[in-house]
Structures are given as structure tokens and as C-alpha cells.
Structure 1
Amino acid sequence: MPQAQAQAPTAMPGATARQRIVQIALQEWQRWGGQTIRIGRDDTACVVSSPLPPPPPALPDGIEERIQNGSLNASSADTDESFGTTAAPGCAGFPDGTGMEATPQGCALAQRYWAIVGKQVDCQQITEGRWAWSAVFISWVLRQAGLNERQFLTGQSHSMYVVDARDGILPAPAFRLEPLPAMPRPGDILCAGRGRDKYLSSVDEVGFGTTPMHCDIVVEVDATARVVKTIGGNLQQSVSMELVELGDSGLVDGFTNSHAPWLVLMRNQLP
């Protein structure tokens, strides 16, 4: 068994559920090499710290020609549940199929996340947009932190658990939705629309499993530096930390940075 699969997350003895979520998210980020992305007030999204990516894997015979001829899509913005994978001009970035997810360790880690929703995927699928793993990363972290099905239902699309919280279907929900602008707290989940639904005007427009979205776990709030630190999966082909710079209001909003047009905050109600 690969070492990445054998390692179980750990939390400090006596940690609350909220603290366990943050601790496990940070541990996974470190296992992926500690890649960090700055979501700036200047409307850029730049990788500011990253492990060296491996060389791109060779494409199977005939695939490159089919892509050039338009008979095969390399990825789909409507099915890829991550965001921020196209960096601003002058910023480092890794295209699909490269970066940490293309390594044996990255594949093994992402396969663990898919298993939380009962899916077995191979290493080629891990690098494909239609098998984006950002939602199953969130699901995996929350299950490892001890949240049960009365509190949170796992899903392979972020929109599934956003709708669960919006429609109040759970008997003991761990999260409630809060509109933006807002000040997140560690353990909250911050969500945005993607692709064709990047600029949704209301969370009421989100469809269960049909709206492309991305969500991050909030791990730290530095009000003095005006930065919220979040961790999400499948960001620049890795588990990455995002340094979200606050807007003029001193809160997270949906318009300060067009790379991350945040839509809603999932407020953690656990201790």
C-alpha cells in the first residue's frame, strides 16, 4: 500500500469537531507539499509557493491530434469542480495533467478522497477535469473529523452539500448558509460558482449536483493582515492554501477578486 494511503489523519487530543476539521485540512495540505495561492485585492490569482511540478505525462497515441481537430475536449469547465486553475498573466500555473496530482503520491491521496463517495478512480482519471476531486476532498476531511450523516452528507459535487444546507434536509446540520459579505471563522466553508455559473446572483439558483462550484475550508483568519486562509482540493492540481485578501469592507465578498467570486459562506455551527 502506498505510504500516502497508509497514513491516517490525526487530531490533538480533546480537539473539538471544528478544530479537527482545521487540523486535518492543514495536514493534507502539508502532505501535498504546501502549495499556496494568493487571491489578491488587485484581481489576480497567483501561485506564490509550490513544489516543483513533474514533467507532463506523454499523451496516448492519436489523442493530441484529436484535441487539435476539436473531436476531443481536454477538459470541461462545466464538470470541473475546482477553480483558479488558470493563473493570471505573469503568475505560475500548472495545466491539467501536471503538478502534484500527476505524481504517484498525489494520485494515492486523491484516490482516498474519491473512496469517501464509493468511487474507485485510476491515476489517469485523477488528472482529468471531469474527475475533479475538490468536492470529495471536502467530504473526506469532514468525515475524518467525525461528522456523521445527520450533520453532513458527502457528495462528489459541492452543490450537493450547499443545497443540503440551504434546504434544511439534515436533522442535525453542521452548517447553515450565510450571505456575503461576511467574516469567516476557522472551520467554515467558503463557496463560489464556477464555469457557466461563475457569477450566480443568489444561492437560490444552485441546483443539486448540477451547478459547478468550488468550496474551501477556512483554516485561519488574520484580521490585522486582512487575510483569510483557506484550503481546498484540486486547486492548481493540488491541495492548496489560498490567501484571500479582504475587500474594502474588511470582509470576504463576491466582487473584490473575479478569480474567486465568492457566493456564500457555510457557517460551521459545531463547537
Structure 2
Amino acid sequence: MPATLQSIVESANREWAHWGASAWHVPENRKTIGHTDDEEAFAQHVLDAYCSVGGGSPTLLDIQDDRYFWSAVGMSAIMQGAGFRRAEFPFAQSHSVFIRHFVKARKTGDAGAAYWGFRLGEAGGQPDVGDIVACARGTNMTAPRAAALFDSTRSYESHSDVVVARRAREIDVVGANVLDSVTKKTLRLDSAGHIDDARHFWFAVLKRRTV
């Protein structure tokens, strides 16, 4: 079946529940961790359920010892579980593959794209349920360097989470390989509805275009 907002949320929450409902309230830095990839059964789940979709063939020890970053393959599996086909969502081992894909889709006016990329803080780019929010990682990362990645055509270190709930001044997002688990983060929104979080270098919001 085609992906819908409901199927996206259900797929993300299904994986979140599988990992024991790990949660991180970012503004208050409160964390509750269920299962982690240090447990062999969950490292095996990464290999069987996530790498089979996004690619990669790490060993269990690679996953458990944090030598293999599985967040992008985890997001790929969530999107496949929601009903996306590879032609609609480029499953990959790097978040920048699908971030760049959907940023380009907006720039070229691809009306058939599942998502369009908006810059952080851009009018019309306020995150909502079913959207994907992206932040930059890496040594010596800064807000200006993160913002510049929006226009990059090369691979870069990044992370993304899918929005599963929105309230007046905060959102809940689910992402893989967060605190070694599939974790639901709560993020604050500013008065205009944009992410207000000093802990991560957010730079893009991929807006869901069709339901």
C-alpha cells in the first residue's frame, strides 16, 4: 500500500516500541533507554531488518562497538515499513543520500517527489507529522557549516529523524542509532513553529508532499 502519514507514524512507532520505547526529552535532557545495540538480539535486528533495506554488511561486533553507524539504514527500514518503494525513497547507508535527493527535488520542481527539502527556519518549512528533520554531525561542526550543507551535492555526515507528533510548542521525532537505540526525542519549537534546539545542528526539514 502507498505510504500515508498514518503509515509513516505507525512504522516509526513500531520500531520504537520494539526497542523498548527509549526516550530523550532534549530540552530537559531527560533520558530513558529501553534496549540498545549492545544486546546481541538487537544488533542482529539491525543487520536483519535495517541493513537488508539500506545496505551494509557489518558484523554484530561492528554494530555493538559503534564502528558501524546504522541510523540511516534504520530510517530506510522505517520508510520501507511505511510503504515507500525504493523509487520513491532512496534507501541508503547515509542520510545525506535522501536529504540531498529531496532538496534537489524541490529545487528542480519535481512534483512527483515524496518530500521537498526546506532550510531550517524557512517559511513553510515548519516540521509537522510525517516530515523528516535533519541535522549535521562531525568534528568542528558549527551552525554556519551545517546550514551550508543544504546546498552540498557531496556526501556529508548527518542524521535524520521522522516527526511522529506535534503539539503547540514541541514535536516528537523518532530516529535510529540515537543513544544506541531507536529513540523518540522531544524537541522544542519556537513561536514560529521552527525547531529551537541548541544541542544539535539542525539544518533541513524534508516536508511530506502527498498523503
195, 205, 209: which is aligned to 2:138? 195
C-alpha displacement at 1:176, in angstroms? Answer: 0.3
Asked if the contact 2:2–2:83 (Cα under 8 Å) also holds between the matched residues in 1, the reply is no
The secondary structure found in structure 1 opposite 2:74 is helix
Does residue 46 of structure 2 align to residue 101 of structure 1? no
Match of 1:49 in 2: 32
C-alpha displacement at 1:49, in angstroms? Answer: 2.0
Match of 2:194 in 1: 252
Does residue 118 of structure 2 align to residue 178 of structure 1? yes
Q: Which runs of 5+ in 2 are unaligned?
A: none
Asked if the contact 1:39–1:260 (Cα under 8 Å) also holds between the matched residues in 2, the reply is no
Match of 2:166 in 1: 221
Asked if the contact 1:35–1:238 (Cα under 8 Å) also holds between the matched residues in 2, the reply is yes
1:79-132 per-residue CA deviation (whole Å, 9 max, x = no partner) reads xxxxxxxxxxxxxxxxxxxx6111122112211211113433221011244411
What is the correspondence of 1:6-85 to structure 2 with a 5 Å cutoff?
17-40=4-27, 46-51=29-34
Distance, in Å, in 1 between the alignment partners of 2:177 and 2:30 is 13
Instruction: Give the number of the structure whose residues are more often strand, by fraction.
Output: 2
Q: 1:15 to 1:205 in 2, by over 3 A?
A: closer
Distance, in Å, in 2 between the alignment partners of 1:183 and 1:171 is 20
Q: 1:29 to 1:125 in 2, by over 3 A?
A: same
Q: 1:220 to 1:18 in 2, by over 3 A?
A: same
Distance, in Å, in 1 between the alignment partners of 2:33 and 2:115 is 31
Per the normalisation by structure 1, the TM-score is 0.68
Distance, in Å, in 1 between the alignment partners of 2:189 and 2:134 is 15
Which moves more between the two structures, 23-32 or 195-204? 195-204
Distance, in Å, in 2 between the alignment partners of 1:49 and 1:212 is 26
The secondary structure found in structure 1 opposite 2:207 is strand
Asked if the contact 1:190–1:262 (Cα under 8 Å) also holds between the matched residues in 2, the reply is yes
Distance, in Å, in 2 between the alignment partners of 1:122 and 1:47 is 31
C-alpha displacement at 1:215, in angstroms? Answer: 0.3
Match of 1:90 in 2: none
Q: 1:122 to 1:266 in 2, by over 3 A?
A: same
Instruction: Give the number of the structure whose residues are more often helix, by fraction.
Output: 2
C-alpha displacement at 1:259, in angstroms? Answer: 1.3
Match of 2:91 in 1: 154
Number of residue pairs matched? 201
Per the normalisation by structure 2, the TM-score is 0.85
Larger radius of gyration: 1
Give the root-mean-square deviation of aligned CA atoms.
Answer: 2.2
1:205-226 per-residue CA deviation (whole Å, 9 max, x = no partner) reads 4343x31001001000011xx2
The secondary structure found in structure 2 opposite 1:37 is strand
Q: Which runs of 5+ in 1 are unaligned?
A: 1-13, 52-98
Identity among equivalent pairs (%):
22
Match of 2:152 in 1: 206
Letter in 1 for 2:31: V
